[in-house]
Structure formats: structure tokens, C-alpha cells
Chain A
Amino acid sequence: MKIRDISRMAWDQVKRRKVVTGLCMTGISIGCAAIIVALSIGQSAQAYVTEEVNRNFKMDEIMVMPGGGIPSPAGGGQAGQQENENLNPGKLTDEKLEIIRGFKHVVAASPFQEAGYLQMVTMDNKIGDTQVVVTDLSKLTHFDKTFSMGGGSGVQGTAVLNYGATLGLMDVSVRQNLFDQMNADPFNQELMNQYTSMQTTPTDLYRKQIQFQMQDYSVPNGPLKQSSALQVTGILEIPEGYSAERASYEKVIYISPETAAQLSKEMAFENGSALNLPEEGSYGSVTVKVDDVDHIKWVEQMIQKLQLSASDNLYQQDMLKEQFDMIKMAALGVGVFILVIASISIIVAMTMSTHQRRRQIGIMKVLGANMRQIRNMFITEAALLGLLGGLLGVGFSYLIIMGMNKLVGTAGNGLTFFVPLMTLPVGLAFAIMTGVLSGIYPAISASRTDALTAIKRD
């Protein structure tokens, strides 16, 4: 018996027996939709969390540090040790940085040297504590940083501020006064609110001048040293998904290596400089941006050949994948359970249908249909019911996901549910499988129908 004939006969029955078809399709569609929705929710949540993790942990970036050889302070060795450079093959030098920049798949490579924390002072005497990061200001945009105002300049004596660095700057006397009041009355909510509000209030610093200052605490009554003025040439945008409060905890000023060298000299104390810098021409850390997460490992291997240490955040992704795989499996289990329940409706409906069609089966057997052909006809019918139920389930799942997105709305904070295309064949496959498995018993029962009993008339 040809597949085409079996399919056509099955389709005729499906069209003809509307109640049975409706019952079976409803059951299967609910199960199929449950699987697709469960997988979609898992996938959407994973995509959302991965995006968040990517944003925070920069999956496509590699942190390069000096590696191997005889370790030297700040990764680059002290001045005066140049002659012993061959003793430190793991040194992160300008030459190696250039080589890294030339690697395939490397989008950008720049030093991001954390030079320490300094107090920033504006020209109108507002102060704020900031982290100083030494980098190539002209390459900031390559590392997912966007400017809300201005940009990075190659001119010495310039700086770029992140959004957080513009928040919470206060007049010295106002800040001292507020701290005194809070110390005297630590549970005063009004004072706390006032402080929080001031912490998130931005100050316009674009094209303004700033200075750094620091007191030398290493000696009693050490001097308060102030740097020369730096021109703010750019302000970075608040990172996506950040609130002003969260941004206020990350106050960063980016300066070029040349500006850093100048500041280091200006802020030199008896026991060293306020800025922690590697020797000229070498770096304590370099960040490498790669075109695709899939190429991270390859670039890392290339970097390691330069006797440098390279690390990434891919393990975060692996951890997430592991956790979400478990969640998805659990969701799939729920969907399958619903399908199993739904399959009962098919078994009942198909068995009823078999009983009602005993006469027809009998005629077919008399006309020469064998047990296998009768069985195949019923199984095909059940598979067709599964397919139709599955297709209906796909429609349902889209409606459910649409409804969920409407329900979550803006409260989702960027979380949008979607139906990944790969879930559709999974849902359909489960629906068809349920149809086939549920159809086995009725099919066997039909094939065993005794032709003579079936066609006998009372």
C-alpha cells in the first residue's frame, strides 16, 4: 500500500470525524504549546541573562596580563631593569601589543591600567573620589563605550569621564557638613535621602577642567598634593540598563599613558607615586576585543604564545548554559507530562473511532487488506492528528508568548519573551510522536478486528 494512499485515507478520516479530530487536536495542541512555551521562556530568559552577563562581564573581551619569566612590579619591571629584559620574557610590551593588534579576529587591543583611586576636584571646588584608568582614549569606542558628549583626545592633559564620575560631586564644605550631621544622627532618613539624592546628581563637566589631589598619609602631616589641570574632552553615556544610582558606584576617569606619566610625577610622594603605573613602554594589563565569542579561545592561544597570560569570562557563559539547560530540561519535562496526559484523549478517541469503524475495517480485510496495512492506516491517522495538533500548538504558543509579553510589558526591564525557531520542530516532533505512540494501541486493536465478525449483520 503506497504512503500516498495511506496518507490520503488518513486525511479523509481526519476530515470526516470532526469530533474525534477536534478532541485529539485540542489535547495535543495544549501539550505541544506547553513544550514550546516552556522552552521559549527558558531560551528568552537565557538570552536576557546572557545579554546582561555579556554587558557586565564582556564575553568578547580577553584580559591580557604579563606572564611567565621573573615577575616584576606592575607587570613591567622597574626602571633600570631594561638590561635584564630577557629575564622577563612574559613582559607585556608595546611590541607585543602591536602583535596582538595584528592577530586575526582582533577588533581592538588597548591597555586598561588601573592606576589607583584619587580625589577629583572641579574648578568650583566640588570633590569626588574616582578610579583612574590609563588607556588609549581614542580607542574607547572600540570597547563598547559610547560618548554622550565629546570624545577621546590624543592631546596630553586631557581626560574622559564615565557617567558615574559626573555624579555626586559636592562642595568640600557641604560634604563635610553633611557627613558631620550624618555622624551625629545616623538614623535620620531625611539626611540619608538628601545624601542619596546628591550622590546621583550630575555635574556638567564637559570641556571643564579638573584636578586630582591626594594627601601623603605615609608621613605625619603629609602634604596635600594637587595635579595640574586636565581638560575633560568627553563624557561617556550611562551604560545600558544602568540606573543613576548604580552608575554612581562606578566613577572612572580615563587618561592617556602620557598624561598618566605626567600626573605620576606631579603626585609623587616620598614613598612613591599616588599613581601605580608600569614602566614606560610596558603594561600591567591589556584588554583585547575579539570579533566573535567563538574566536576567543583561538586568540587566547595566540596571545599565550607570546608568553602572556590571557583570561576571559566564558566560564560565566558556560555556567549559565549549564544552569539554563537544567531549567529547560525541567520545562521540557513539564511539557512532556502534559503531552502524556493529552495522549490519553487520543487513545480514547481513536479507540472509540476504531470501534465505530469495525465494519469498515472488516470490509477492507475481506477485500485483502492485511494486518500491517490496517495498522499503518491507523498509525498514520494518529500521526496526522499529532501533526495537526502540533501546528495548532505552535499557533497557541505564539499567542501565549504575545500575551506574556503584554503582561510583562515594561516591567520586564528589557526581558522580552520570544519563540525560538528551533523550539518549533521540537514541539512538532513531540506532538507527532505522541500521536504515533497513542495510535499504536488503537491501531493494533483495529488490525486484530475479525473480518467476519465485523461484516456480520444481525
Chain B
Amino acid sequence: MLRVENISHSFKTGNEWTKVLHSINFTVNQGEMVALLGSSGSGKSTLLNLMAGLMKPLEGHIYIADQDIVKLGENKLAEFRRKHIGFIFQAYELITSLTVCENVELPLVFQSVSPRIRRQKALQLLEQVGLQGKEDMFPSQLSGGQQQRVSIARSLITEPSVIFADEPTGNLDSKTEEEILAILLHLNKTLKTTFIVVTHEHEVADRMQRIFSLRDGYLINGDFREESPVSEEAAP
């Protein structure tokens, strides 16, 4: 479903290149819920951005639904994201001027789906995440946990192939974190949607079906571990 092949990436700081990902390889199957675990600076967010098509890797290929997204141009990538990728952000990233329902509907707006169908789907998802009756409220009127539920509903509305969740519980207290995790696990189970959850918390990662651990840009327990975290080498 999702295949990462020999992904390497570097950032240029001043005149020097710093390699942040070293030949990463792994595969995630349809309906799996995996964690991408790593401490700060391990390269997990960079890998997430690459997999989501927000950045282009310097080397390697990323296949989602049999499409190599590395080869897609910006507009094609936007179209691909619209159809196949869902996002859950650490800071929810809701649009404050839109209501809860409008926020959930937003990805479908870009797909020119009719307002009636959009609303129907959005209300259904809001009910699934336990926010029924709050559709006409604005994000500022909701708690952090509720906002993250809106974000989850929004990520699901396009029925994507894969949902990337970047530290989805990072801004929440432990009780709310548990609620959000329960929702994600439940949705994965019922909808069979593939989830890739980026986290630095072992407690969160342990709840997933598989864990890919990253350290200093190396995948240390992936499907195919080809390199060991040895010395940094200069990138092109």
C-alpha cells in the first residue's frame, strides 16, 4: 500500500549539506496502523513530509497506491493528496473562520463535491468522532481534544488511502490523549484505513500494530535495514 524505497534526504545549511535520512526502506500494508518513532531530530517529521508529498527526497521512491509520488509535479501532487492522503496535525491546524462542519468539509470543497453531500458526510464523521451537535461551532469554542477530533474527521472525509498523523496527541493531556488514541484505533479497525502515526512517545507507539524506529536518520527496526547508524557522510 505504502512503500518507501531507498529514501535519502539532506538539508543545506550554509554551504554544507547535512544528511537527515539514510536509505530508508519499509512497507506499510493496507489497513495497518504503524508508528514512526523517534526522538527530536531523528528525521521522523522529514520522512512524514516526504511520504505526504510535501517535500521531494534527493534519492529514492515513495509508492502510495502504486503511484510513485516522487515523480509527480506540484499540481499532480496536490490532486494526489486530495484523493489519497489525509492529515492529522499536532496543532490541529483548523481554519478559525470556518465552522466545525465547514472545516471537516474543506478537503471535499477542493474536489468540487456538492454542498449537500459534503455536509452529509461531515456530519456522519463528526458523529463518529463524538462531536455530534457541535457542527456549527467555531474551533475557538472547542477544547484541544475536540479540535483534534475535528482534525481526525477532516482527514477521513476524502476516504484516503493513508492518513499521516504528526504527533496527534502531542498537545493533549493524558486523559484526552487516551481518548484520541482510542478514536484512531477504532477508526482503523472499523474503516480499515491505513494510519502512519509519527510520535516520540513510546506509550503511543506501543499501541500501534508495528513500530518503525528512527535514530539520527537511520531506520533501526524497519522492514529492510540496510545501513547502520554510523558516521554522517556528506550529501550531494
Chain A residues within 8 Å of B, Cβ to Cβ: 1-2, 4-5, 9, 12-13, 16, 359-360, 363-373, 451-452, 455, 457
Contact = CB atoms under 8 A, between A and B. Distances in A.
Contacts of B83: 368
A9 B110 CA distance: 12
A451 B110 contact: no
A371 B55 CA distance: 16
Given A2-B112, A451-B54, A452-B55, A369 B95 contact: no
Contact of B112 (A1, A371, A457): A1
Interface of B: 49, 52, 54-55, 74-75, 78-79, 81-83, 85, 87, 89-91, 93, 95, 97-98, 106-107, 109-112, 115, 154, 158
Given A364-B106, A370-B78, A455-B89, 10 more contacts: A9-B109, A12-B98, A363-B93, A366-B52, A367-B82, A368-B83, A368-B107, A368-B111, A369-B110, A457-B90
B158 A368 contact: yes
Contacts, number: 65
A371 B107 contact: no
12 contacts: A9-B109, A12-B98, A363-B93, A364-B106, A366-B54, A367-B106, A367-B107, A368-B83, A368-B111, A370-B74, A370-B110, A371-B78
A360 B49 contact: no
A360 B95 contact: yes
Contacts of A368: 78-79, 81-83, 85, 107, 110-111, 158
Judged by DSSP, the binding face of A is: helix
Contacts of A359: 93
B55 to A, nearest CB: 6
B55 A367 contact: no
Given A1-B112, A364-B106, A366-B87, A371 B75 contact: yes
Given A367-B87, A369-B78, A370-B75, A1 B93 contact: no
A299 B73 CA distance: 70
Contacts of A457: 90-91
Contacts of B112: 1-2, 5
Nearest to A369: B110
B81 A366 contact: yes
B225 to A, nearest CB: 28
Nearest to B78: A370
